[in-house]
Each structure stands twice: as structure tokens, then as C-alpha cells.
Amino acid sequence: MLTEVTATRYVTPLREGGSLPGLVEADDLLPYVMKFTGAGQGRKTLVAEVICGQLARRLGFRVPELVALDLDPVIGLGEPDPEVQGLLKGSGGTNLGMRFLPRALGFDPLAYAVDPVQAGRVVWFDALVNNVDRSWRNPNMLVRDGGLWLIDHGASMIWHHNWRGAAAWATKPYDATDHALARFEPDVAAAAAELAPRVTEELIAEAAADVPDVWLADEPGFDTPDAVRRAYVETLLERATGIHERIELPKAAPRATARTSGWIMYEGAGR
Ligand SMILES: Nc1ncnc2c1ncn2[C@@H]1O[C@H](COP(=O)(O)OP(=O)(O)OP(=O)(O)O)[C@@H](O)[C@H]1O
Ligand SMILES: [Mg+2]
């Protein structure tokens, strides 16, 4: 289960996010990036955030802490922006919170180099969950103190929009040609050797157990939230086996290689 906190103050919208996430303060006095159940993308985006975020953390990636963030829509009444007010009013109850990382910069593949092993791990993980939202246009990674953090897994696991076709996704390829880390010669074979054996039924089930029941209730074709959780586990487990052989990387010569991760220093910089 995720830790449960309650939003006490809406601070500001994060306008760079397509779903209009908001920065809020909660009753534990900590700042969170809040993703709303009432956003156009719907609650499945939040389910994907939890399963993928919790799984990634268990595999050793840095992911800001996720919490179940309770919202009293009354908070929205004083909000001057009608779009924000509508979002708050339509999102009463359990929403998703991600610990806000202060001092973090958005990852930029031209400014920050990633070594092939780390790049391979991220690309392999994104292939597993079929994350289509980690491109060089929209990297959805943050850098703080030299470490790479993964955020925003809402556009993963597309198969949960049509469960009847989910089984076919076990063998579908992953197009990584536009991936933000494609230019760093990602070593996906090494990543698969390390990570695939760790993606067990138990590990995925632990991540799925963290999804609040209310986001899984009334899913067509399933009797209980646990039945939906099992469907996530089965699809991801199947996909883990051979996904690295189906990752499509750019054919052209790689544009950048890096032995170690870190900021790229440009000639003349700092003078
Ligand atoms: N935990 C965090 N700490 C600091 N900044 C964050 C955090 N989460 C998100 N942000 C900032 O807010 C932006 C929007 O967040 P996010 O990408 O999760 O939203 P989204 O609506 O799903 O975005 P997208 O447009 O990619 O679909 C990020 O690009 C980042 O700049
Ligand atoms: Mg984003």
C-alpha cells in the first residue's frame, strides 16, 4: 500500500505537463506533484504511474516516492484559473502524489551523457512496460546531484486500454528509435541479463498491490481489483522473457558515446 496523505494547499500548476499536474503541499508538510483522477487521461494513467514507478524502484532505479494523495475538492473553490478549478473539483478522493524533487533539472540528452550500461537499463525497462513517453522531445527524466531520476510513467502499458488484446503484447516489439537515451549506445543485452531474472511474479505483484483499489474497481471484464492486478502481472511477466530481442534502436551510427554518466562540458564553457 502507498502511504496516504491529504492535500492541504494547492500551490501552482506545472504547466509543462500535458495533464496539468499540480504542485501541492500535504498534511505531512511535504511538497508533492499531484496527478489528478479527473484529468482527461483518466485513472489508468495513475495506475500505470504506480505499477511502473514501484517496479522501477524495486529494480534499483531512482524514482521519487509515490503516495496516495487525498483531495477535498473544496481546495479548488478559491482557484482563479477555471481549468485548474475544474480539475480540482472533478478529482475528489484518492489521487496520485509524487514527492517533488527540489533542485532537479530536466534531463537533456545534449547536456548530460549517460553510460551505455545505465542507458541500457532504462531502455530495457521502458521496453518492458512499453513506455512511449521517454523520447528526446519529452524525456521525462530529472537529474539531481548527478543522478538520473525516472518520472511520468503514465503513457505505459497501452494494453490496459483493451484487455482482450493484452496477450498479443507479450511478443510485440518496442520502438526505441526516438528514445531519449538511444544516442548513448544502450547495452540492452546486459540490462536484460541483469534485470529480466529479477522481474518475477512476486515482484510485479508487489508493485500492483500498491495501486489503490478505487482505481481498479468496476473494470469491465473483471470481478475484483485483484483480478485486474493479476492481468497486469501476467502481461508484464510474459513480456520480460524476451523483450530485449525486440527492442528497435536507431540503425544509423550512434551520435554519442559515454563511458561514464555526467554533464557534457563544452569547449569554452565557463570561461
Ligand atoms: N517529482 C518531481 N519533482 C520535480 N519536478 C517534477 C516532478 N514530477 C514532475 N516534475 C516536473 O513537472 C513536469 C510535468 O510532470 P509529468 O511529466 O509527470 O506530467 P505529465 O502531465 O504526465 O507530462 P507529459 O506532458 O509528459 O504527459 C515534468 O516535466 C517536470 O518538469
Ligand atoms: Mg511528462
**Cβ(33) to ligand 1 under 6 A?**
yes
Q: What is the rounded distance in angstroms from the CA atom of residue 215 to the CA atom of residue 45? A: 10
Region 89-97 average pLDDT: 97
Ligand 1 pocket test, pick from 152, 153, 156, 178 with the greatest ligand atom count within 8 Å of Cβ, gives: 152
Mean pLDDT across the chain, nearest whole number? Answer: 94
Q: pLDDT at position 76, please? A: 87
Residue 267 has pLDDT above 70, yes or no: no
Q: pLDDT at position 254, please? A: 63
**Cβ(154) to ligand 1 under 6 A?**
yes
8 Å CB contact between 149 and 104 = yes
Residue nearest to atom 31 of ligand 1 (CA): 106
Strand-strand pairing, 22-26 and 3-13: antiparallel
Residue nearest to atom 30 of ligand 1 (CA): 106
pLDDT band at 268, cuts 50/70/90? low
Centre of ligand 1 to C-alpha 151, Å, is: 7
pTM over 0.85: yes
Q: Per residue, what are the HEC states of the chain?
A: CCEEEEEEEEEEECCCCCCCCEEEEECCCCEEEEECCCCCCCHHHHHHHHHHHHHHHHCCCECCCEEEEEECHHHHHHCCCHHHHHHHHCCCEEEEEEECCCCCEECCCCCEECCHHHHHHHHHHHHHHCCCCCECCCCCEEEECCEEEECCCCCCCHHHHCHHHHHHHHHCCEECCCECCHHHCCCHHHHHHHHHHHCCHHHHHHHHHCCCHHHCCCCCCCCCHHHHHHHHHHHHHHHHHHHHHHEECCCCCCCCCCCCCEECCCCCCCC
8 Å CB contact between 232 and 160 = yes
**Cβ(14) to ligand 1 under 6 A?**
yes
What is the number of the ligand closest to the CA of 14?
A: 1
**Cβ(23) to ligand 1 under 6 A?**
no
pLDDT band at 265, cuts 50/70/90? confident
pLDDT band at 271, cuts 50/70/90? very low
Q: pLDDT of 137-158, one tens digit each?
A: 999 999 999 899 999 999 999 9
Residue 255 has pLDDT above 80, yes or no: no
Residue nearest to atom 6 of ligand 1 (CA): 100
**Cβ(34) to ligand 1 under 6 A?**
no
Ligand 1 pocket test, pick from 11, 12, 14 with the greatest ligand atom count within 8 Å of Cβ, gives: 14
